[in-house]
């Protein structure tokens, strides 16, 4: 059942949000990122004694959907010391996963077992200490932090949360795990399933009718998709690393196929969905419908992937690829967050180098709720480093602690102060955590910094070492760049690979290797510190030798020792450069700062070889502190493996020919930045 009057309430809540911004607060300053005294109470509430000593699990509970398909769920309930489930009714937390709830069960048992769990933590801490001396060569702290700092529990079942008086229901989404059907990959039938599961959970004898949702990545995206439909029982969601526009986030960022992540992810889901329920095979209850469904669709989404990689030209584009390149198709419309419809209290956790950075802050801004009923944390980690660094001095509390406090507030009515936290906590790249009232932060000034061919003397390793200045240069030179593969060793590689290649800090934390394939444009040293907060755009006056090309740009913080750290990046295929002005953002001077690329065949516009064309490369939002003595740098590439590879028809048209930036005072190339203090 969908909540009646949701649109009207959204308008009222939005108006209250405006009032909260305009009317000065009377309750004192907002708490710091660490949460202050309130956070200490949240930690005690999560880590202290709970009213129930045990957890009872009911395995593989069938949930029949409206079309007859049966999904399977594991139900975790508070229990006594003997493992008997309580008869009291409690709020229910729903988690919809494509990675099979078997993984959730095994991971939960391993990390939260009273003996094995502490041993595992000791092992992680020991490995971290042993590896500390070689951190500059191989850094595992990104991954161990997710376990030590509570992030992993938001992916698994938090048994402390269950023992505190919640029931958790973990469901295999249609076509995955032990559930029947074919995998629908976030589309309309799967979204309907989520709403039906919420209604089912609210009607069960163990439920008090109040439903929350939890989970990471896929299990965060379907939280957003459920909340935008406003089902009556849904009272709170806690999405960790959610995407909101899957085409622009991971499938085809800038119109180039996300080859670093998609094959790896599709293989994971399509492999784990084939694992059978061994217990049912032994007790004679094996689901033959499950097997028939798996045989009918063993390789979901692989046809689209192979078509993008192998189709030679536009006239040969098959239907399965064409639907991804049409704005009105089911995947394109179903994969949008519709966050402007959400009236459910929402706490979003994301990261500046997550797979879904493009969507996380955008969704927060679109949700029509006042600060407090919506919250945002943006760390500086990767997709697999969930919550790393939290719970430490000066940082936000652990994610499992925040999640319990959020549900206690909205599902149990406990006045614990979580709605006064934040509402926006940001990890500044290069510095510490800060609290803000909004993102981008107020007080930023838009400024152009111009690309020039005068040597900065800071990047002799680059293809060309250029300058970045507050005033345009009079040069009419041409700077040429060819496609290369050294971005395989880069922060963009680590971001697209969900953090896997962040294991090598000399790639992820320093761009000087990848810059051997780049044009670099570097400023003079900063005399004073300044922040970068918001969206940036690199505009190049481009000339190509073919009818298509691929442009990538990064914004870097260059330290006095020469270390070049990427703080934001973006890319666009030249023929897909057109953007929807109604959904794009612009600076006061008219410069586009957040181009919303249409990415359709209908709006594709081939390039005329040899003729200058304006290319806007929108960079991901960021929050960074540029310290005194540091420099800003823009890197420009003609390829960005594995972050993106142009669709095969467009790659063929580019012929991998060199690309040029034509310097021209009448059509300058520049980056438009949001700065707390102008440069120059």
Question: Which CATH number do you get for residue 385?
Answer: 3.40.50.1820
The answer to whether residue 479 is domain-embedded is yes
The answer to whether residue 422 is domain-embedded is no
Identify whether residues 95 and 169 lie together within a single domain: yes
Percent of the chain that is helix, strand, coil (3-state, to 5)? 35, 25, 40
- Whether residue 284 is predicted with pLDDT greater than 60 in this model: the reply is yes
Q: Would you state the pLDDT for residue 13?
A: 38
Band the pLDDT of 143: cuts 50, 70, 90.
low
Helix, strand, or coil (residue 208): strand
For 61, the domain range is 6-245+336-415
Task: Give the residue with greater pLDDT, 17 vs 316.
Answer: 316
Task: Give the residue with greater pLDDT, 112 vs 55.
Answer: 55
Tell me 620's DSSP state. Answer: E
Of the residues 396, 415, 434, which one is the last residue of a structural domain? 415
What is the DSSP code string of 498-551? TTGGGG-HHHHS-TTTGGGGSEEEE-PPPSS-EEEEEEEEEEEEEEESSS--EE
Q: Would you state the pLDDT for residue 14?
A: 41
The answer to whether residue 173 is domain-embedded is yes
Of the residues 367, 395, 415, which one is the last residue of a structural domain? 415
The answer to whether residue 147 is domain-embedded is yes
Identify whether residues 382 and 485 lie together within a single domain: no
Stated pTM of the model: 0.94
Identify whether residues 626 and 564 lie together within a single domain: yes
- pLDDT digit string (tens) for 11-20? 433 443 333 3
Task: Return the minimum-mean-pLDDT range out of 90-94, 123-127, 392-396, 600-604.
Answer: 123-127
Q: Would you state the pLDDT for residue 244?
A: 97
Identify whether residues 365 and 465 lie together within a single domain: no
- pLDDT digit string (tens) for 327-381? 999 999 999 999 999 999 999 999 999 999 999 999 999 999 999 999 999 999 9
Q: Would you state the pLDDT for residue 16?
A: 35
- Whether residue 94 is predicted with pLDDT greater than 60 in this model: the reply is yes
Q: Would you state the pLDDT for residue 15?
A: 40
The answer to whether residue 285 is domain-embedded is no
- Whether residue 22 is predicted with pLDDT greater than 70 in this model: the reply is no
- pLDDT digit string (tens) for 506-525? 999 999 999 999 999 999 99
Identify whether residues 469 and 348 lie together within a single domain: no
Identify whether residues 384 and 461 lie together within a single domain: no
- pLDDT digit string (tens) for 413-430? 999 999 999 999 999 998
Query: What's the per-residue H, E or C state across 41-82?
Result: HHHHHHHCCCCCCEEEEEEEEEEECCCCCEEEEEEEEEECCC
Identify whether residues 157 and 208 lie together within a single domain: yes
Query: What's the per-residue H, E or C state across 299-310?
Result: CCCHHHHHHHHH
CA–CA separation, 607 and 611 (whole Å): 8
Identify whether residues 373 and 488 lie together within a single domain: no
- pLDDT digit string (tens) for 482-496? 999 999 999 999 999
Peptide bond into 63 cis (omega under 30): no
> How many residues are there in the chain?
680
The answer to whether residue 182 is domain-embedded is yes
Sequence-ordered list of residues with C-beta below 8 angstroms from that of 49, at least 6 positions apart, any chain: none
Identify whether residues 44 and 146 lie together within a single domain: yes
Are the CB atoms for 348 and 354 separated by under 8 Å? no
Q: Would you state the pLDDT for residue 680?
A: 87
Specify the number of domains making up the chain. Answer: 2
Band the pLDDT of 138: cuts 50, 70, 90.
low
For residue 223 the two structure tokens come to 């939280």
Band the pLDDT of 29: cuts 50, 70, 90.
low
Percentage of the chain exceeding pLDDT 90: 87
Of the residues 397, 415, 433, which one is the last residue of a structural domain? 415
Identify whether residues 512 and 407 lie together within a single domain: no
Specify the long-range contacts of residues 502-509, CB closer than 8 Å, at least 24 apart.
Answer: 502/139, 502/142, 502/382, 502/385, 503/138, 503/139, 503/140, 503/142, 503/143, 504/137, 504/138, 504/139, 505/135, 505/136, 505/137, 505/138, 505/139, 506/136, 506/137, 509/563, 509/565
Q: Would you state the pLDDT for residue 12?
A: 37
Identify whether residues 594 and 637 lie together within a single domain: yes
Q: Would you state the pLDDT for residue 116?
A: 81
Tell me 2's DSSP state. Answer: B
Question: Which CATH number do you get for residue 519?
Answer: 2.60.120.260
CA–CA separation, 252 and 245 (whole Å): 10
Are the CB atoms for 199 and 231 separated by under 8 Å? yes
- pLDDT digit string (tens) for 436-449? 999 999 999 999 99
Q: Would you state the pLDDT for residue 388?
A: 79
Alpha-carbon torsion (228, 415, 405, 36), positive or negative: positive
The CA–CA distances, whole Å, from 678 to 163, 447, 448, 469 equal 53, 7, 9, 11
Identify whether residues 522 and 658 lie together within a single domain: yes
Band the pLDDT of 676: cuts 50, 70, 90.
very high
**Could you give the count of Cα atoms lying within 13 Å of 65 in the half-sphere of its Cβ?**
21
Percentage of the chain exceeding pLDDT 70: 93
Q: Would you state the pLDDT for residue 147?
A: 73
Q: Would you state the pLDDT for residue 130?
A: 67
Sequence-ordered list of residues with C-beta below 8 angstroms from that of 29, at least 6 positions apart, any chain: none
Q: Would you state the pLDDT for residue 132?
A: 63
The answer to whether residue 343 is domain-embedded is yes
For residue 483 the two structure tokens come to 């496609």
Nearest CA to 573 out of 609, 615, 610 is that of: 615
Are the CB atoms for 329 and 188 separated by under 8 Å? no
The answer to whether residue 294 is domain-embedded is no
Strands 659-662 and 478-481: antiparallel
CA–CA separation, 277 and 275 (whole Å): 7
């Amino acid at each position: 059942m969908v909540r009646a009057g949701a649109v009207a309430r959204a308008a009222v809540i939005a108006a209250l949000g405006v009032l909260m911004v305009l009317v000065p607060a009377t309750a004192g300053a907002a708490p710091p990122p660490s949460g202050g005294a309130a956070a200490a109470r949240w930690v005690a509430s999560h880590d202290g004694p709970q009213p129930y000593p045990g957890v009872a699990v009911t395995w593989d509970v069938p949930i029949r959907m409206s079309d007859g398909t049966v999904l399977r769920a594991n139900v975790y309930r508070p229990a006594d010391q003997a493992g008997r489930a309580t008869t009291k009714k409690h709020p229910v937390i729903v988690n919809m996963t494509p990675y099979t709830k078997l993984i959730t069960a095994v991971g939960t048992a391993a990390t939260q077992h009273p003996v094995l769990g502490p041993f595992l933590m000791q092992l992680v801490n020991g490995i971290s200490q042993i590896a500390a001396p070689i951190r500059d060569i191989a850094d595992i702290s990104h991954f161990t932090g997710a376990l030590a700092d509570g992030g992993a529990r938001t992916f698994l079942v938090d048994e402390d949360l269950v023992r505190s008086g919640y029931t958790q229901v973990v469901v295999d989404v249609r076509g995955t795990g032990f559930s029947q059907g074919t995998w629908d990959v976030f589309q309309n039938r799967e979204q309907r399933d989520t709403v039906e599961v919420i209604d089912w959970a609210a009607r069960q004898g163990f439920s008090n009718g109040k439903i929350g949702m939890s989970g990471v990545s896929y299990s965060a995206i379907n939280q957003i998709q459920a909340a935008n439909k406003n089902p009556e029982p849904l009272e709170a969601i806690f999405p960790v690393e959610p995407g909101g526009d899957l085409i622009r986030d991971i499938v085809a960022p800038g119109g180039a196929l996300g080859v670093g992540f998609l094959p790896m992810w599709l293989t994971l889901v399509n492999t784990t969905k084939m694992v059978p329920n061994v217990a049912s095979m032994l007790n004679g209850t094996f689901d033959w419908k499950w097997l028939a469904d798996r045989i009918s669709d063993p390789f979901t989404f692989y046809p689209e992937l192979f078509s993008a990689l192998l189709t030679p030209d536009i006239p040969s584009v098959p239907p399965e690829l064409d639907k991804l390149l049409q704005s009105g198709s089911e995947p394109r419309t179903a994969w949008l967050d519709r966050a402007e419809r959400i009236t459910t209290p929402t706490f979003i956790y994301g990261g500046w180098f997550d797979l879904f950075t493009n969507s996380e802050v955008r969704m927060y801004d679109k949700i029509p709720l006042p600060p407090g009923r919506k919250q945002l944390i943006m760390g500086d980690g990767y997709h697999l480093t969930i919550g790393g660094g939290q719970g430490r001095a000066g940082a936000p509390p652990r994610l499992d602690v925040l999640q319990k406090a959020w549900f206690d507030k909205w599902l149990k009515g406990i006045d614990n102060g979580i709605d006064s936290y934040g509402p926006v906590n940001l990890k500044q790249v290069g510095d510490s955590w800060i609290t803000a009232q909004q993102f981008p932060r107020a007080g930023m000034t838009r400024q152009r910094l111009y690309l020039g061919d005068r040597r900065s003397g800071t990047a002799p390793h680059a293809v060309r070492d250029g300058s970045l200045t507050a005033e345009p240069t009079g040069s009419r030179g041409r700077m040429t760049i060819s496609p290369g593969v050294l971005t395989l060793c880069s922060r963009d590689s680590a971001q697209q690979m969900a953090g896997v290649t962040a294991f090598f800090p000399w790639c992820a934390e320093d761009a000087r290797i990848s810059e051997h394939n780049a044009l670099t444009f570097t400023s003079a040293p900063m005399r004073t510190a300044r922040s970068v907060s918001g969206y940036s755009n690199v505009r190049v006056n481009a000339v190509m030798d073919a009818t298509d090309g691929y442009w990538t740009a990064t914004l870097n913080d260059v330290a006095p020792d020469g270390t070049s750290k990427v703080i934001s990046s973006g890319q666009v295929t030249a023929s897909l450069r057109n953007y929807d002005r109604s959904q794009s953002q612009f600076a006061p001077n008219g410069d586009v700062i957040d181009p919303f690329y249409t990415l359709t065949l209908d709006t594709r516009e081939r390039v005329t070889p040899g003729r200058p064309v304006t290319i806007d490369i929108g960079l991901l939002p960021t929050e960074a502190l540029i310290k005194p003595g540091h420099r800003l740098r823009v890197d420009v590439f003609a390829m960005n493996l594995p972050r993106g590879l142009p669709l095969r028809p467009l790659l063929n048209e580019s012929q991998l020919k060199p690309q040029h930036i034509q310097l021209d005072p009448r059509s300058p190339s520049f980056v438009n930045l949001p700065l707390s203090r102008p440069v120059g």
